Structure 1
Amino acid sequence: MDSALPSASANASADKPLVLDLGGIGDAPLRLIGGKALNLGKLLAAGFSVPHGFCLTTVAYELAAPPGLDALAAELDALGSGAGEASGTVTAGTVAGRARALIAEAPIPHAVDAAVRAAYAEMGGTLPVAVRSSATAEDLPFASFAGQQDSYLDVVGADAVVEAVRRCWASLWSDRAVAYRSANGFGNNDVGLAVVVQAMIDAATAGVLFTANPVTGTRTETVVNASPGSGQAVVSGAVNPDQFVLETASGRIQRRTPGGTEPRRSPGVSDQRLQELAALGDAVQRLFGAPQDIEWAVDAGGKVWLTQSRPITTLYPLPEAAPDDAAGAAPATRVYLCGTLFQGLTRPITPMGLAVLELMRNNKGHWRYVNPGLRMYVDLTAVLRSKSGRAYLLRMLPLADGRSGAVLPALLEDPRFGVIKHRFLQSLRQGRAKRGLPRPARRAGGTENSASLGLFLQLLPAMVRPAFRPAAELRRAKSYGKQLESWLHLAEPASPAQRLEYTEQILSRTVNGLIQATLPGPSVGYIMLAVARRLLRGIAPPRELEAVLRGLPHNITTEMDLELWHLAVSIGDDPVSREEFLTKRPEELSAGYLAGQLPPQAQAGVRGFLARYGHRAVAEIDLGMPRWSEQPDHILGMISNYLRVEDPEQAPDRQFARAAELAEDRIRSLVDRTRVRNPWRARALELSLRRVRQLAGLRELPKFYIVLVLGEMHRQLLRIGADLASTGVIAAAEDVFFLDFDELRVGLRGADLHGIVADRRRLYDIELRRRRIPRLLLSDGTDVEAAVMAKAPASGGLAGTPASAGTATGRVRVILNPVGAHLEPGEILVAPSTDPGWTPLFLTAGALVMEMGGVISHGAVVAREYGIPAVVGVPDATTRLRTGQTVTVDGASGTIRTEP
């Protein structure tokens, strides 16, 4: 095709043309030609076979956009943000429909019509073409918009091409495209649409190939879908294609999955063709520098054509290379475990939150950590390749996370992770020598080895103390909190530089003392639980001990939840406050509280509660998360939920008291049964169980105090952020949480940090939308659980790990974020995972179902203490269960049964 397309009469200007030849796009900006055209132009420039054609630029769309479209786009943005009216007759769908109707009825400008017709005439005037949308928010590294706008195939004739162009423009406002933009944070006024017109390939075979496995995430595999005829049938799902998985480097075919309805149908592509496609895909991936989703077609003469290439945006980010792998030509595959999920977090952690976790880790030992996807992963490779390490993982991993434990055997059988003698200790020593100590740890003084050994030696005698004097241990642990609060004080006035130095040093000054003061008590409590389990061998099954942990006293998180309940009761006793909380949304209540405008009784009560617990937050181990004292939406929403409890027997304090009574009854029963066997054994059992009741509840105290420290760090960093924002270094005070300490020092010297913050916020927002987080991740990107499930037969059951005995039948309430969540008393709480910020919901939940966790995970432990049935580690529970369904949760068998 001649690239000298009409420009004088049909083009708006030389720098903003209406039409560009695909072969001459060159460095045209994304805003002019859209993602699809841009990628096709790059393929052509690199010498790949791409059907010839032209691009009608976004200038044409802007000229054709009818009056009123901008107003509708603004209305859609308001609806998407929640600021508009999303009920009644005004919905995103109705507004989008009006936008499509405007485009369908508006005349196409003469210059645009003439440009399309002239360019099509250059192609021959009667050639069948494909007319495809190319949006400016499409085929981006972080959002593909695959299938959101329309394409039209086998279009013949100028009139038909012009009409297909109009329909492509209208598809920018389809319900699915509008919803996708809203979900991915794109404004409706921020996107434009170009249109690609290409010659059709008379395909003998066509399909799609992925240069990384889109299901498992493995970057070393190519997946090819193929079917006879047009590739559109494969893309649209109209046919069931043949599927092949190849090892990219060697071209070896690893799996074949025939498509169609005939089980013996011969494949549509030969092995040689598959290897050619894998090599072609690898070359395209190298061109774009990222895994690609490529549409291809083979014509009757056997030539392979590429009709589209876009980035695969759903892959989980790769971990950074290990230091000892960087120099090697073929680095060994490594295994990483997601520590973030073990903390009950599915969301990403802010960059400052990760920096602070790094400081805390440096006080703890030698493990190597990486942060792909802004989540914390620990390198388990050395443990997995050690005989003793394997035994430890097999024993502990199923308890911490049932789903990780279920796929662990697959890793143990993988020859890449075979046992190497002394590998574990040797790897730790080598890793320590290569990494050295980070600057903050050096500045704190001493070495990790001496600090860890010293802490261990100090804890040993402290572990004896609680066993003999539990009451004194309780007083000691709780009095430490008052000392800690007095230490968390920076003399005012302080400069931003002084605040930064103070904030960075807090952890090194407090964490070891905090552990010494608070860890012995709960540790002895759970050691005594293990002693009791041994004393009951042959007398009672371990499951009976679960009731002993219900209604535990001295649990700071339980105390917080019950205080919140009592606050709700006092607010409910005041008619004005009650009406306010039952009629307003949490964010409205929050704004009223922060302005000091809640009814007096409610204002004073909330202020008192936040004076003690305002340093807490949802996902509170992330320093960057807003504390309840600055955003109390979550707490105020919980009060509104509690006010809806009408049955006195469902009141949380009554339920907690019953749980404590059940625990005492169970202790008496177990001791009586043991006394029949041996009176001395019964006395030892009773002493053990009493110590469990007195001390195990303290398990939340170390974290409570750590979060108190984090709350002070958060407050000081916000003060620094306000100073930086006032000088224009960053846009808002909260931007400090998207920087690290060194960058803040640079910012205090006046450097502009807007660009760094913007890039990190973009990544953070992408990760916030990610639903599936690999619990076990290989360095080649493989999600181990997904890989195991891909090979396993499909199961229709809904089951997980039994975590808290009992059964409950109720309506499902799927909650992805507890902030502002509404949970009716007795409803079944279904969540991805939970941390202490979720626990106020537990007090009125009928049962708990979680996608993450094992029997010792936080949600499971709290559910047992509160006495509600719980099943954890249920794959895809938040998508397989729907709000409003009625289900029965059996916490003993680990099953969820749907009721008619």
Structure 2
Amino acid sequence: MALVDNQLFVPGARLLAAPAAHLGGKGAGLLRLQALGAPVPGFAVLPTALFEPVLAGLPTTVAGLAERRARLGSFEVPAATQAALKALLADWGFGDGQPVAVRSSVADEDGAAAAFPGLMDSVLHVSSWPALLAAVAQVAASAYSDRALDYRRQRGLSLAARPAVVVQRQVAARAAGVLFTTFPEYPQEMAIHAVAGLGEGLVNGQLVPEEYYLGKADGQLVAQVHADLTPDPSPPVARSQTTQPSSCEKLLSSGGEGVEVGSTPAALLTPITLAELYHLGQRLEAALGGPQDIEFAQDQAGRLWLVQARPITQPVPEVVVYDNANIQESYCGVTTPLTFSFAQRAYATVYRQTMHALGLPAATVAAHEPVITNLLALQQGRIYYNLNNWYRGLLLLPNFRQSKADMERMMGVLEPVDFVHGQRKTLRQRLALLPRLALTLGRLLGKFARLPQRARAFQTRFEAEYQRFYQLPLAALGAAELLGEIEHLNQALLTRWTTPIINDFRVMMAHGAATRHLSRLGVADPEEFLSRYLAGSPAEPGAEAEPLASLLPALALRELGALAWQEFPALLPLLEQPGPELPAQVAQLAPAFHQRVQHYVARYGDRTMGELKLETETMRTSEALFYQYLVAYLAPPAAPAAAGTLPAQAAAELTARLKGRGWWQARQVRASLTTLRQAVARREALRLERTRLFGMYRAAYRALGQLLASAGTLAAPLDVFWLTETELATAAQAGGAQWAALAAARQAEFAGYRAAPAPAGRLVVPSRPAAPTVAPADGALRGTGCYPGQVSGEVVVITDPAQADLGAVRGRVVAALRTDPGWAALFPGCRAVLIERGSALSHSVILLRELGIPTIINVPGLTQRLRSGQHVRLDGRSGEVEITN
């Protein structure tokens, strides 16, 4: 069939010069679907050129618009067009029981910004020639209906509509519906709503559909809402009303009676049909460049037909994934606004240095400021990583996929996120990037080679600043001077943190390389192997045997405990029951011991539980806290079995696996393991300096709080933590009564967060509310084993380390929501540690391996299931935990 004088378009015939403009939105959409191989019923389009003569010269005044509608309402299809259309319809069987649908296709309909949803007419079940001609005129005239014109005015569109009309073979449907390839309310889902028969009652809001929600990642049925069944016991899924009165939006706001997951015998669409719709939706969204609103029909034989596809005009929010699997070590529980604002700035500062260290151009760094300044987020008073932005940063590295996998291991991300993808590059693009990538890699390798010297220089410079800071009379400084000291810390230390950053890269890359080498050797669980190989002292001859720097505070505390027990027995009754007055008593009764304590506090006084939270009390801010830690070391049980056998066993296993392998492969494997061990040891030393840096900021801000409270700007010195860094700078410079009120309001808000159940370790926003989980009835729990050993014992649950009875952990199994390196004070006396959320490469788990203590992490619901005083039996290798009473 050919195009007749620009009066009829049939797919397969000669194309118009600009099909989208002449065929209207719906006609052009059908043409795109057909070009993509989608199943589209036969159609023809009466193009805009056919109707233009009757509209020529008419203004868009009120009278002119009325005249346009009237002329279109009496429109007569030209004889040549009728002849061509009759021939086509005869091929469809029109007049012999095959009806057609006559549908609007205005030039700017079904666009990305203006969908005109349900505003123009469609006429179904047209089965005679006179009815068809009348339907064409009715549909064309509906372009000037009152509702269509009101929509144009609201959207700022031209009132001079250019109608086209689609004539399409009508499917004898057993079911029909609408598919949103991305559901705007929960963008990680695909929504399908369907009714029996034709879908017109669904799209016009008259019928309540069956609703199906499929996960976009895998097509699995997430939720199902039945239209006319007895309500399920579970509550209905809450949905918000949409703002536009579109047919598809009416569809989305029509509720069902109940929700259940999985297909049921009453389901209108079978799992096979849902799978077919899922794959069609995924393919079309990718091909058409964005989320699509697709109307479909299923005929009596079960075949699917697509009768419309248009962009979803409703804004689809970005799916953001927040995860605290690793950062919870440092910022456990509710965190104050000051700490969050400081941490957010610190992460941004460090990230910028990372980008510069990799040799990225300044313009590239500047373009990524929205990513850099939003690496962290505060959700319900708790700090999370914004994983989307961390992944976006990895796009700047040469190998996104490998870097992503390495970062996920380091961060303890249990479920990888796939909302951010690396971009496939052509061969020409890859070749063009080679010089820059080679230069970046060369710079990075050069920095890796100089890390030992750079780390020593960094620590020397840090020590000088550390000594200078603590010689300052902070309590005597004014507000401007304190703010100046904070800025000095920023410039002298925080903005010169490149060496720890480069070493962190070294750890990440070395860990990834070691894991890949072990996998190629046939090691089934490389993480478990590394947990043994890296535990305790090095197994390789000539390797550095010093303990990790992060373990030094615990070892020094153990030494002080032994000293008190052996040389100052008269102090023991006081030390066993520490109180606020104890530091003064020790200073009077045992000056030599007190001097040792002072030396310890000066060196390690910032190392404590929650040490990176500025509001945390440390041994430096309260010396009495030191003696609370010391209690666990005064009468320790027998030392745990040495961990040295585990590295030796792992080294022997490695030697056996390398037997028969080539010299080069053996060299690579051993070199990767040695590099990883050295990088981890260096990281722990540098992380101790980070702890001390945060201690300096803490001291400066506490002094500022004291000053603001004395001036009446704050109600109490510690209220300083309830304001952000920016707010504090303003308050210090200008004063004002509003700051005390703001601090009080924040305290009340965050008290609510603290009282509520802790949110999940991963938050997906927006996300469908999770169904309540039912704990196993047999008392079994399971997590990830990090250090082997079978232990039975009494549990002590610690949800708030600041309130923990440190002496109560001796000989018991510690169960915690999260841990951080400051927990090292608790670990030596306990028999095992269970952690609800953690990372196998976290600092606290590294310490537990060093101490040879069986450890299990990522035990769901641990702190809700266990109570202090219960007894458990656990296996640190398999991750199994059994409640025995």
1:832 deviation in Å? 0.4
Matched, 1:706 2:690: yes
1:506 aligns with one of 476, 489, 493: 489
Gaps of 5+ in 2: 1-222, 242-252, 266-312, 353-370, 426-436, 538-545
Q: Trace 1:677-688 onto structure 2 (pairs within 5 A).
A: 677-678=661-662, 681-682=665-666, 685-688=669-672
The aligned amino acid for 1:623 is: L
Deviation at 1:453, TM superposition (A): 14
2:236 aligns with: 244
Q: In the alignment, what sits opposite 2:758?
A: 772
- 1:696-726 CA-partner distances (Å, limit 9, x unpaired): 2222233222221221121122222222222
CA distance in 1, matches of 2:529, 2:828: 23
- 2:457 is equivalent to residue 463 of structure 1: no
Please give the alpha-carbon distance, in whole angstroms, between the structure 1 residues aligned to 2:455 and 2:825: 24
- Aligned pairs for 1:267-278 within 5 A: none
* Distance (whole Å) between structure 1 residues aligned to residue 516 and residue 438 of structure 2: 30
Is the deviation greater in 389-398 or in 610-619? 389-398
Indicate yes or no: 2:816 matched with 1:807.
no
Q: What do residues 739-798 of structure 1 show as CA deviations (whole Å, max 9, x unaligned)? A: 233333443333122211111121232223333223232334756xxx166599999631
Aligned pair 1:376/2:383, yes or no? yes
Q: Give the CA deviation at 1:831.
A: 0.2
Partners of 1:736 and 1:744 within 8 A in 2: yes
Q: Contact (CA 8 Å) 1:590, 1:632: kept in 2 or not?
A: no
1:864 partner SS? helix
Tell me, in whole angstroms, the C-alpha distance in 2 between the residues paired with 1:792 and 1:384: 34
What's the CA shift for 1:463?
0.3
The residue number in structure 1 matching 2:703 is: 719
> Does the 8 Å contact 2:479/2:704 carry over to 1?
yes
Q: Match for residue 188 of structure 2?
A: none
Question: Pick from 370, 394, 405: which aligns with 2:414?
Answer: 405
Partner of 1:758: 744
Which of 794, 799, 821 in structure 2 is aligned with 1:836?
821
Structure 1 partner of 2:634: 643
The structure-2 alpha-carbon separation of the partners of 1:640 and 1:490, relative to structure 1 and needing over 3 Å to count, comes to closer
2:727 corresponds to 1:735: no
Q: Is 885-894 or 772-781 further displaced after alignment? A: 772-781
Shift of 1:877: 0.6
Match of 1:479 among 442, 448, 460: 460
> Is residue 2:618 matched to residue 1:624?
no
> What SS does the corresponding residue of 2:874 show, helix, strand or coil?
strand
Q: Secondary structure at the match of 2:795?
A: strand
Judged with a 3 Å threshold, the aligned counterparts in structure 2 of structure 1 residues 818 and 606 are, in CA distance, closer, same or farther, namely farther
What is aligned with 1:579?
573
Contact 2:394–2:400 (8 Å) recurs in 1 = yes
Is residue 238 of structure 2 the alignment partner of residue 255 of structure 1? Answer: no
1:774 to 1:254, Cα distance in 2 relative to 1, 3 A: farther
Cα separation, 1, equivalents of 2:766 and 2:824: 37
How many equivalent pairs are there? 549
Deviations, residues 66-103 of structure 1 (Å, cap 9, x unaligned):
xxxxxxxxxxxxxxxxxxxxxxxxxxxxxxxxxxxxxx
Letter in 1 for 2:573: E
* Alignment pair present for 1:332 and 2:317: yes
User: Aligned partners of 2:659, 2:611: CA distance in 1, in Å?
Assistant: 45
For residues 839 and 424 of structure 2, the distance between their equivalents in structure 1, rounded to whole angstroms, comes to 28
1:770/1:609 CA distance change after superposition, 3 Å: farther
Deviation at 1:349, TM superposition (A): 1.6
2:782–2:881 contact (8 Å) kept in structure 1: yes
Counterpart-to-counterpart distance in 2, 1:833 and 1:738: 23
Question: Does the CA contact (< 8 Å) of 2:819 and 2:844 recur in 1?
Answer: yes
- Measured against aligned partners, the alpha-carbon deviations of 1:511-550 in whole angstroms (never above 9, x if no partner) come to 343332x455565466555555555543755333322211
TM superposition score normalised by structure 1: 0.53
C-alpha spacing 1:385/1:561, structure 2 compared with 1 (3 Å):
closer
Is the 2:836–2:863 Cα contact (8 Å) retained in structure 1?
Answer: yes
- State the Cα deviation string for residues 677-714 of structure 1 (Å, max 9, x = none): 45565555555544444442222233222221221121
Aligned to 2:246: none
CA deviation string 1:626-670 (max 9, x = no partner): 2321134554223212223242x34xxxx5xx2245425643563
Q: Which amino acid aligns with 1:615?
A: D
Q: 1:665 to 1:695 in 2, by over 3 A?
A: farther
- Report the TM-score, using the length of structure 2 for normalisation: 0.54
C-alpha displacement of 1:605: 3.0
Alignment of 1:850-869 (within 5 A): 850-869=835-854
Counterpart pick for 2:335 among 322, 337, 349: 349
Say which SS state the counterpart of residue 762 (structure 1) adopts: helix
Bigger Rg, which one: 2
**Separation in 1, partners of 2:583, 2:472:** 31
- Contact kept in structure 2, 1:555 and 1:699, CA below 8 Å: no
Task: Work out whether residues 320 and 766 of structure 2, in 8 Å CA contact, stay in contact via their aligned partners in 1.
Answer: no
**Shift, 1:575, TM fit:** 1.1
- Report deviation, 1:589: 5.2
Aligned counterparts of 2:514 and 2:401: Cα–Cα separation in 1:
24
1:385/1:684 Cα in 2 relative to 1: closer, same or farther (>3 Å)? closer
Provide the rounded CA distance (Å) in 2 between the counterparts of 1:399 and 1:884. Answer: 34
> What secondary structure does 1:848 align onto?
strand
Structure 1 residues 392 and 634, CA gap change in structure 2 (3 angstroms): farther
Identity of aligned residues (%): 24
Residue 401 of structure 2 contacts residue 422 of structure 2 at CA under 8 Å; is this kept in 1?
no
Structure 2 CA distance, aligned partners of 1:601 and 1:805? 41
Aligned-pair CA distance for 1:850: 0.8
Question: CA shift at 1:482, angstroms?
Answer: 2.1
1:891 alignment counterpart: 876
In the other structure, the counterpart of 2:368 is none
Measured after TM superposition, the shift of residue 611 of structure 1 is 1.1
Does 2:551 match 1:558?
yes
Q: Classify 1:814/1:633 alpha carbon distance in 2 versus 1 (closer, same or farther; 3 Å).
A: farther
Displacement after TM superposition at 1:852 (Å): 0.6
1:244 aligned counterpart, secondary structure: coil
SS in 1 for 2:837: coil
Q: Distance in 2 between matches of 1:485 and 1:525?
A: 26
> What secondary structure, in the 3-state scheme, does the structure 2 residue paired with 1:361 have?
helix
| 8 Å CA contact 1:370, 1:378 repeated in 2 | yes
Q: How does 1:108-127 map to 2 (within 5 A)?
A: none
Q: Which whole-Å CA distance do the structure 2 matches of 1:577 and 1:523 have between them?
A: 47
- Contact between 1:338 and 1:775, CA under 8 Å: does it hold in 2? yes
SS at match of 1:798: strand
Q: Residue 626 of structure 1: SS of its match in structure 2?
A: coil
SS at match of 2:763: strand
Rounded to whole Å, the distance in 1 between the matches of 2:448 and 2:483 is 36
